[in-house]
Amino acid sequence: MSGVSPCAPIGVFDSGFGGLTVAREIAKALPQESIVYVGDSARCPYGPRDLAEVDGFVQQIGAWLVERGVKLIVIACNTATAAGLAHAQRTFPVPVIGVVEPGARAAAHATQNRRVGVVATKATVESDAYTRAIRHLDAGITVFSTATPRFVEIAEQGIRMAEGPIENYTSLASKVYIRPAFEEIAREYLEPLRRCDIDTLVLGCTHFPLLKALIGGVVGRGVTLISSAREAALDVAEILARRDALAPSDNGPCYEFFTTGEDVSEFASFGSRVFRAPIDTVARVELA
């Protein structure tokens, strides 16, 4: 890759904390790589916003990451991927990947009865991004999509309510406190999909892997849950390898975290639980 060092960081961004599930998978798959993460908490959530507006956010954050010298950008948000991936790929001088296509590919490979469910934000569902991506790979698959806007709120509330010492980072992300009321909401959202006889369910929002136990408990063991976070990390590894742009194995990785929100300490403590590792420093960035 001309002009960009293999030791340059990978840029990852999301509307808030959810994309840290993607950053975590990248850190796990590529432990030698540095990461610059931006959580656009000031404008979160993206889900209810107009796609053209979200596309503008993608351009803004992407330009900021390019200025910081990243070698690849991951749009770790399904809504932002649906709204702005193609535009970003045309605009920026580094590879840009989203989370929809990797998740769609995994779902198309996993399904046996060719009936796939998708749970996502309203904007992602309305964009039809997953249906198009899955049916592009196998036109015989029937896709059932449903908007589950309250899942983001449940994931964040559940982490805040989780008990246990903050030092115990190895199990933090699984410690999402599930109230009985959360299970009722999940049942209401997921029961119609269950009745559609799906055998695969795409968690079409990067917050949703945090609710894997809740969602899996409702849809049952016969349904394979697809998290696009892990699939996106595999894509990052493949693209960098193909471009001979992987950091050397002796590279000491550096993780930097930024938020557009006011409360950096809240981002650090909450983010540590999602990233499953201590986030010591978070800097505030103004993009508007």
Concatenated DSSP letters of 96-127:
EE-SHHHHHHHHHHH-SSSEEEEEE-HHHHHH
DSSP state of 16: S
How far apart (Å, rounded) are the C-alpha atoms in residues 147 and 126?
9
In this model, does residue 156 exceed pLDDT 80? no
pLDDT bracket for residue 207 (50, 70, 90): confident
CB contact at 8 A, 144 and 165: no
Q: Count CB-CB contacts under 10 A for residue 220.
A: 9
CA angle 276, 279, 283 (to 5 degrees): 140
3-state percent breakdown (helix, strand, coil) of the chain, nearest 5: 50, 15, 35
Sheet architecture: strand order including 115-120: 142-147, 115-120, 200-204, 224-227
In this model, does residue 125 exceed pLDDT 50? yes
CB contact at 8 A, 22 and 37: no
pLDDT bracket for residue 162 (50, 70, 90): low
How far apart (Å, rounded) are the C-alpha atoms in residues 96 and 12?
10
Residue among 156, 82, 158, 171 at smallest CA distance from 126: 82
Each residue of 44-83: pLDDT tens digit? 889 889 999 999 999 999 999 999 999 999 999 999 999 9
Q: Percent of the chain, pLDDT > 70? A: 92
pLDDT bracket for residue 129 (50, 70, 90): very high
Sign of CA dihedral 195, 175, 262, 68: negative
Catalytic residues, by residue number, are 77, 205
| Residue 171 pLDDT | 42
pLDDT bracket for residue 113 (50, 70, 90): very high
Which helix or strand (DSSP H or E) is residue 274 part of? helix 264-275
